Amino acid sequence: MDAISVIRAKRDGHPLSDEQIDWVIDAYTRGAVADEQMSALAMAILLNGMTRAEIARWTAAMIASGERMDFSSLARPTADKHSTGGVGDKITLPLAPLVAACGAAVPQLSGRGLGHTGGTLDKLESIPGWRASLSNAEMLGILDSAGAVVCAAGDGLAPADKKLYALRDVTGTVEAIPLIASSIMSKKIAEGTGSLVLDVKVGSGAFMKTVEDARELASTMVGLGTDHGVRTVALLTDMSTPLGRTAGNALEVRESVEVLAGGGPADVVELTLALAREMLAAAGLPDADPAKALADGSAMDVWRRMIAAQGGDPDADLPVAREQHVVTAPTSGVLTSLDAYAVGVAAWRLGAGRARKEDPVQAGAGVELHAKPGERVEAGAPLMTLHTDTPEKFDYALAALDDAFALGDTAVDVPASVVLERIA
């Protein structure tokens, strides 16, 4: 086989055969298929889609490209969570220690920023000393001692996905449902967790803009997980407005610690608890009370152990950007809308994300929100603060925020819950 024939087949709308899928994933992993060829295939998949059978085979080929982990030696049941990515989505940070405090083991393999969405590993790396790369033995040891670990997937775990994940970020193919589903589920199935809860974002700040697309993605992933013997459930959650009041790396860590300390924004707390309950139920611990673990400090205790076990200092000061710019309200009124995508792009342009897969990120960069929809602000009051080490980026970030918010004279209906739907 050759890459060009596989690309042409998908370009022309034909389903790929099992043999074509197995070959192209293996060849790309070995370096026999070049990045530019896989980029062309990824774009063809984005434009023409894949059948359920193609997605299942693509996922299986990604799993087969590397090793599979085994957590059967742990005394606790395992539960994991994955988010499809949003703006201000720092939920993994308080969630993993919270679920561990309730009796489950949480082997959380996380990724880096994709496009306008933040990456959990980028956020945690703003903590002095913390490291994302662990050996399998280190991961098992931390799970045994702390109950939770958040780290990068090892080189041996679905290596095909590791290469393709970074490539999608810089080729405009992040939104392809078959590639999202196979990327997430190949890692999670190979990881060996007993149960999985998916947080599928929907709205302007998500890769899935409509409930219909989010439902399709969620159903595809739930089916893939179930077929591989992993208890899987998905929640569709709102991402039309940024989650919480920060979008950035160190900014979001700081807000997550506030949640673990019993405070934090209401929407972050609500979603953290909702996902915790789903994870605990899937792990066979339906009677555990995550709200109690959040209130009594036991989740914070696990956080501190987890961070320290990965070389981080939970008491260290977090990085702060050298420059700030305050965006003020042009008039008095009620904030009627705040576009998550625009805020995410602004944070990315300030340095919180990357334009190329090899780019570094700024730990202190991002956007801090002083008002959310439904809240009243006065003319001249701060709406948001932009943070960056490179002030020449302010104008570029401000351009993304030109139409990001609206002010009105009357109150607006704020959604009662960030959780829109449950799929199992």
**Residue 200: enclosing H or E segment and its boundaries?**
strand 195-202
Which tokens belong to 185?
A: 């589920």
Catalytic position from the list 57, 81, 82, 112: 82
Catalytic position from the list 57, 116, 168, 215: 168
**Is 187 designated active site?**
yes
**Strand-pair partners of 81:** 197
Catalytic position from the list 39, 65, 183, 256: 183
Catalytic position from the list 22, 80, 89, 161: 161
**Is 188 designated active site?**
no
Catalytic position from the list 112, 162, 163, 187: 187
Taking a C-beta distance cutoff of 8 angstroms, is the pair 180, 216 a contact? Answer: no
Closest CA to 88 of 201, 200, 243: 243
Give whole-number Cα distances, 160 to 29, 83, 153, 200, in Å.
5, 20, 12, 23
Taking a C-beta distance cutoff of 8 angstroms, is the pair 376, 331 a contact? Answer: no
DSSP string, 377-402: E-TTSEEEEEEES-GGGHHHHHHHTT
**Strand-pair partners of 326:** 385
Residue 406 φ then ψ, to 5°: -140, 145
**Is 82 designated active site?**
yes
Taking a C-beta distance cutoff of 8 angstroms, is the pair 318, 126 a contact? Answer: yes
Which tokens belong to 237?
A: 């959650």
CB atoms < 10 A from the CB of 322, how many?
13
Provide the annotated active-site residues.
82, 161, 168, 183, 187
